[in-house]
């Protein structure tokens, strides 16, 4: 190959690597703040509260999870409410829905969208990895649109699961979506270098393979092996009862049952 083309390709590769390392220099709290700033932008609030998007209802994956879990009444806590796309059909199905979002305008937008369709939902402004919830209250906790993957570090996800478990009634269900990428191209060397950068910058000392900034905009952790997911659910007090993941789609979902 022409030497200048070789140099140019090498520079592109180095540039991509430097860009992908940005995720390692932020601490978990910074990663959540990055996401909060992203979702608080007026265009994003408008986008997630948009009537057409909200009226599109549950995706095929979400509907299939709902059918599998087999209940459609009781109190449901929806994490990552957005404009109410899932909350509204779930409330219409018979659930009493409380939605949580860290962007106040999303909570207001979702309540307004629900009102327009003649139903009421409650909303709270909270961050999903530091939830403060009443115990023994909800029959189901729902977190879709791959948002389980938005919680940085395995430790925080397990802490979140423990809180969700306490908020569920005995035998309650946690239905959730996550990002799935078993073919992820993350060599041992690249993971090692990112971990080293995290330590040198005192950034995300719990950096894991699969952590990334999606579209350079928001933090997300892509799961590359189901064992990893099963392990953290187990540690968080849940048993995985159904998983819907295939290698053709990065959006996957699962149903976990609270272990009594």
Q: How far is the CB of 91 from ligand SAM (least distance, A)?
A: 14
- The sign of the torsion formed by the CA atoms of 32, 34, 35, 37 equals positive
Nearer to ligand SAM, 83 or 203 (CB): 83
Q: In residues, how long is the chain?
A: 260
Nearer to ligand SAM, 85 or 163 (CB): 85
d(C-alpha 218, C-alpha 33), whole Å: 10
d(C-alpha 190, C-alpha 27), whole Å: 19
Nearer to ligand SAM, 38 or 195 (CB): 38
- What SS3 state is found at 230? helix
- What SS3 state is found at 171? strand
Q: How far is the CB of 56 from ligand SAM (least distance, A)?
A: 9
Q: How far is the CB of 156 from ligand SAM (least distance, A)?
A: 10
Nearer to ligand SAM, 102 or 138 (CB): 102
DSSP 202: T
- Among 179, 181, 184, smallest CA distance to 253 is for 179
DSSP per position, 32-77: HHHHHHHHHSHHHHHHHH-HHHHHT-S-HHHHHHHHHH----EEEE
d(C-alpha 161, C-alpha 70), whole Å: 21
Nearer to ligand SAM, 80 or 236 (CB): 80
Q: How far is the CB of 63 from ligand SAM (least distance, A)?
A: 13
Phi, psi values for residue 134, rounded to 5°: -70, 145
Q: How far is the CB of 132 from ligand SAM (least distance, A)?
A: 12
Residue with tokens 């003649």: 118
Q: How far is the CB of 129 from ligand SAM (least distance, A)?
A: 6
For the chain, give me the number of helices (H) and strands (E)?
10, 9
Q: How far is the CB of 260 from ligand SAM (least distance, A)?
A: 27
- Please give the residue ranges that form the binding site for ligand SAM (CB under 6 A): 32, 35, 39, 48, 80, 82, 85-86, 101-103, 106, 127-129, 144-145, 147, 150
Nearer to ligand SAM, 53 or 186 (CB): 53
Nearer to ligand SAM, 197 or 208 (CB): 208
């Amino acid at each position: 190959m022409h030497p200048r083309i070789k140099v140019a390709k090498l520079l592109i590769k180095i540039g991509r690597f430097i860009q992908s390392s940005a995720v390692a220099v932020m601490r978990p709290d910074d990663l959540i703040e990055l996401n909060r700033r992203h979702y608080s932008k007026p265009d994003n609030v408008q986008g997630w509260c948009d009537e057409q998007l909200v009226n599109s209802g549950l995706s095929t994956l979400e509907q299939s999870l709902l059918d599998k879990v087999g209940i459609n009444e009781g109190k449901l806590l929806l994490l990552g409410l957005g404009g109410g796309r899932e909350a509204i059909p779930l409330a219409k199905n018979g659930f009493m829905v409380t939605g949580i979002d860290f962007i106040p305008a999303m909570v207001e937008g979702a309540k307004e969208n629900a009102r327009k369709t003649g139903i009421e939902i409650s909303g709270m402004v909270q961050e999903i990895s530091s939830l403060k919830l009443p115990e023994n209250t909800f029959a189901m906790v729902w977190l879709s649109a791959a948002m389980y993957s938005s919680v940085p570090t395995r430790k925080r996800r397990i802490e979140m699961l423990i809180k969700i478990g306490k908020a569920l009634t005995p035998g309650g269900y946690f239905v959730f979506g996550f990002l799935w990428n078993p073919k992820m191209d993350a060599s041992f060397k690249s993971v090692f270098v990112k971990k080293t950068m995290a330590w040198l910058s005192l950034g995300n000392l719990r950096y894991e393979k699969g952590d990334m900034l999606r579209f350079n905009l928001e933090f997300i952790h892509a799961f590359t092996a189901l064992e990893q997911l099963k392990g953290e659910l187990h540690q968080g007090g849940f048993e995985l009862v159904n998983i819907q993941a295939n290698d053709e789609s990065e959006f996957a979902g699962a149903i976990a049952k609270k272990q009594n």
